[in-house]
Structure 1
Amino acid sequence: MFSSHDGLCAIGELAERAGVSVRTVRFYSDRGLLPEASRSAGGHRRYGPEAVERLGMIRSLRGLDLPLPEVRRVLDELDGAGDGPAAGGALEGAVAGRLRALGSELAALRWREAALRLVQECPPAERAARLLLVGAVAAPPSTDSLARFWRAWLPPRMPARSVAAFLEAAVVRPPDDPGPEQVLAFARLHAFVSRPCGEAERGATQPPAHAVGGARAPVVLYAGLAEAYGLAGGELRRETAPAPGEALDGFVDAYARAYGAEDTPAFRRVLAGRLAADPRIDRYWELTAQVISAPGGRPEPTPGTAHDWLLTALSADVEA
């Protein structure tokens, strides 16, 4: 309770009790966050005892870096919702949104730190080139350029769900806490898919072995390849040498069903020849492996390394 006869206080006493400046109290009052109880005969602001607690709540919300509109929504909810089902929703939503924003800010800081270390640790003669390379990538990095690259590569008129499934496997996600070498690999990957160059180098068109007819054929092919790559990835993690088995059978079956053919020794010979002659995007997968693999650790499988494993297994099977 304030010391005045009417239980109210002036702006200066409120500021002193709350431990803030008069200017701060006036700022929140002018924006409608801190209602006045009345005005004196001379037009001075007067506040009730509840203003101290409300001002503390405002300061707490602002201390969480919530913007003023979010603070207003939380206060309005506290004023009107009581203990009803909606109570706490505004605060929960504001805190969740701020956590998402902080996560993005922290990811950007970690990326910038690794990029700075990359520039700091490289030979002086290479620093200008490194700066240009990493400077072309946003922080935190976006994968939009990688997605555009693969959308141009995929067959036209593929269903959106099939495209999304392929992009999930092919578009590498940068690590949350990258090392300098991972930053360098992703920057090189971004440069690889963004630079103007010939279609054969970029692989911007479908390889001949994937030129299958019918609206459903590409969907069947890529769904089967995704399953086969997953199986081959398991073999790569176990460091198994390429050999016939479930992964290879699924790989060949994907092409056979897309072509409307049967998996026979003759078909495998034809398929091995077609795949061996197709243009490759090896550089993309090499850089992808560097991005997702921990420094000094075992390289993580990618669709590219899985394809290589399966093609080697197919060639060995045909020769046998």
Structure 2
Amino acid sequence: MGIGELARRAGVTVKTVRHYSDAGLLPETDRSAGGHRRYGPDALDRLHRIRDLRAVGMPVPAVAQALEGGSLEHALAAQLDAVGGQLTALRWREAALRALTAAPEERRPELLRLVGGLPQPPTSDALVRFWHRQLPRALPSAVRAAVVDAAVPAPPADPRPAQVVGYARLHALAMDRDGGLAARCRRVRAAAALPGETDPVVLYEGLGEAYALAGAALAAGRRPASGDEVDSFVAAHARAYRRRDGVAFRAGLRAALVAGDDPRMRAYWRYAGEVADGEVPSLGAAHDWLVAGLGAGAPTGAGETAEP
């Protein structure tokens, strides 16, 4: 068949057939004496298949792989993932526009800068990098990954306008291009730490259990108080500092934690809570609950044990 006949029988334009031929999707069998393209008997079925795959948005390289015996199932699954990402980006764009149109006129320039700084669709990459800069290098990869997973909220697939603004603020805070926030947080923690060396691995492993208990208490609506949650929190610090739990240790620990409170990290946890929309208490909320519970009463199991 000539190119005109093939195009007519397939219901496409000659330009379309030429495009697929030039892209390598539709090989020619030969050329006529006048240099016109000629196609074999299987070209019509192949052209129909190309047209059908392109109709569902499959890119040319994926079409080529499917035509050459690649897995059609994998190609379709990849295209479905791509469409999902596009839909997520559109939902974020819609929610951002709603947030901007609902905001007072004087706030719109600031919100526009914040929202404009988000990748589309948003990713948590900047937040993950921020936490890797913050965490002690000595932490095992499994412990580090667990902390990052708990500290970094995932971007919602179908966000509300308030979640878009919260995530934009969180992203801007975590970008911390000059590393100043992460360095400042480390300095504040170091200045507020208890005297003596500490084992960060022991500390973070113990804090995971304490934060989980406090998160459950928060979800149940319990007010901060002494109990298993605070005991677990104190025990993690006592083991890490190689100290004995007691009234004096708890008082010193609470004073250090209060002194180490950082307003920008408090803002981080507030924005993280806005993104989570209250579904899961943040680590920051769990930490605040434990610190408040630490000041609520004497230890439940340690009595008046003296410091060593």
**TM-score normalised to the size of structure 1?**
0.82
Distance in 2 (CA, whole Å) between partners of 1:94 and 1:141 is 24
1:175 aligns to what? 156
2:42 aligns to what? 50
Which of 107, 112, 116 in structure 2 is aligned with 1:131?
112
2:167 aligns to what? 186
2:272 aligns to what? 288
Distance in 2 (CA, whole Å) between partners of 1:90 and 1:33 is 16
Quick check: 2:247–2:299 contact (8 Å CA) kept in 1?
Answer: no
1:59 aligns to what? 51
**TM-score normalised to the size of structure 2?**
0.85
> Which amino acid counterpart does residue 192 of structure 1 have in structure 2?
L
Quick check: 1:209–1:274 contact (8 Å CA) kept in 2?
Answer: yes
2:71 aligns to what? 90
Distance in 2 (CA, whole Å) between partners of 1:171 and 1:178 is 16
2:23 aligns to what? 31
Distance in 1 (CA, whole Å) between partners of 2:295 and 2:33 is 96
2:65 aligns to what? 73
2:305 aligns to what? none
Pair 1:306-2:282 in alignment:
no
Q: How far has the Cα of 1:138 moved from its partner?
A: 2.0
Which of 2, 7, 10 in structure 1 is aligned with 2:2?
10
Query: In the TM superposition, what are the counterparts of 1:151-300 in structure 2 within 5 Å?
Result: 151-194=132-175, 203-205=185-187, 207=189, 208-209=192-193, 213=197, 217-280=199-262, 281-293=265-277, 298=278, 300=280
Alpha carbons of 1:192 and 1:22: their partners in 2 closer, same or farther (altered >3 Å)?
Answer: closer
Distance in 2 (CA, whole Å) between partners of 1:67 and 1:194 is 33
Quick check: 2:246–2:299 contact (8 Å CA) kept in 1?
Answer: no
Quick check: 2:269–2:285 contact (8 Å CA) kept in 1?
Answer: yes
2:98 aligns to what? 117
* CA deviations over 1:214-257 (Å, ceiling 9, x no partner): 6xx21111121122111111111110122233322221111111
> Which amino acid counterpart does residue 47 of structure 1 have in structure 2?
Y
Distance in 2 (CA, whole Å) between partners of 1:21 and 1:289 is 55
Q: How far has the Cα of 1:52 moved from its partner?
A: 1.6
**What do you get for the CA RMSD once the two structures are aligned?**
2.7
Quick check: 1:155–1:206 contact (8 Å CA) kept in 2?
Answer: no
Q: How far has the Cα of 1:111 moved from its partner?
A: 1.2
Pair 1:316-2:296 in alignment:
yes
Q: Percent identity?
A: 48
The one of the two structures with greater contact order (alpha-carbon pairs below 8 A, sep at least 6) is: 2
Distance in 1 (CA, whole Å) between partners of 2:236 and 2:219 is 23
Alpha carbons of 1:91 and 1:211: their partners in 2 closer, same or farther (altered >3 Å)?
Answer: farther
Distance in 2 (CA, whole Å) between partners of 1:130 and 1:224 is 39
